[in-house]
Each structure stands twice: as C-alpha cells, then as structure tokens.
Amino acid sequence: MLDFIKIYFLAVCLFFSVAIPTAAGAVDNRSLEEQIAGKAGYATQGVNEFTLSETIGRVIKVALGFVGTLFFALTVYAGYLWMTAQGNEDQVTKAKDILKMAVIGMIIVVAAYSITTYVLIFMAQSTSFSSSVGK
C-alpha cells in the first residue's frame, strides 16, 4: 500500500509540474498582424516569426524546465526516503546518494548552459552579430 502511495504522489507531482505550465501557454497570442492577415485572406498557417536559433533556444528552455522538474522530484523522493528511514542506515545512505547524484547532475547542467551562453554571447559580440542569445 505504501508503494502505491509513493507512486501515486510522484505521478501527481510530475503531472502538475508539466500540465500547469503547458496550460498557461495555451492562450491564443496571435499578433494583430496575423489576425488582420487572416481576415484579409492571406495564409498564416505554417508561418512563424522565429528564426532557427530562437526556436532551438525555446526547445532548450523547455528541456531545462524538464531537467529542473526531474531535479525537484528526485530531491523530494530522497527527502521522503530519508524522513521515513526510521533508523534504517541503508535507506538513509540511498537517500544521500540520490541527493548527491541529483545535485551533481544539476551542477553539470547549469555549468554547461552557462558556459554555452557565455561563449555564444562572446562570439556574437566579437563578430558584431546581433542576436537574442541569452534572452
């Protein structure tokens, strides 16, 4: 029964951490130009205003959001294991290992993102290429 509660709690947490931000982005945010073009009979389907680099940046931000959610879930799970250990050293060790691995993974992801952003901004400034890197 306790395993079912753990799995159910984890599933609910993951669902809401993914569903709520997705639902918030489901608002119709077409620009005034797109609305006018659609009423005038111009095709607006399949046309977007984003460049390839902006699209890749958005995908990376979504992926980093999932990594943050995974880090949060692992932290909550490890904390739950630790708090319910009741003196069981094996369970405490397992919880500590999960926390260590989650923190190390998050440090690696944040460091990689920071280094990449720094290098891209430096390259954009040195080549006088104006872009929206880092925004």
Q: What is the pLDDT of residue 125?
A: 79
pTM, full prediction: 0.56
Residue 78 burial (C-beta neighbours within 10 Å; 0-12, 13-18, 19+):
buried
Work out the pLDDT band at 27, boundaries 50, 70, 90: very low
Please give the tally of structural domains in the chain. Answer: 2
Residues 78 and 88 in one domain: yes
Whether 66 is covered by a domain: the verdict is yes
Residues 66 and 116 in one domain: yes
* Distance (Å, whole) CA 30 – CA 35: 7
Tens digit of each residue's pLDDT (9 = 90 or more) over 63-110 = 888 999 999 999 999 999 999 999 899 999 999 999 999 999 999 999
Residues 36 and 55 in one domain: no
CA-based R_g, the chain, Å: 22
Residues 64 and 97 in one domain: yes
Range of the domain at 70: 50-130
Work out the pLDDT band at 40, boundaries 50, 70, 90: confident
The yes-or-no verdict on residue 129 having pLDDT over 80 is no
Residues 12 and 76 in one domain: no
Cα 124 from chain centre: 25
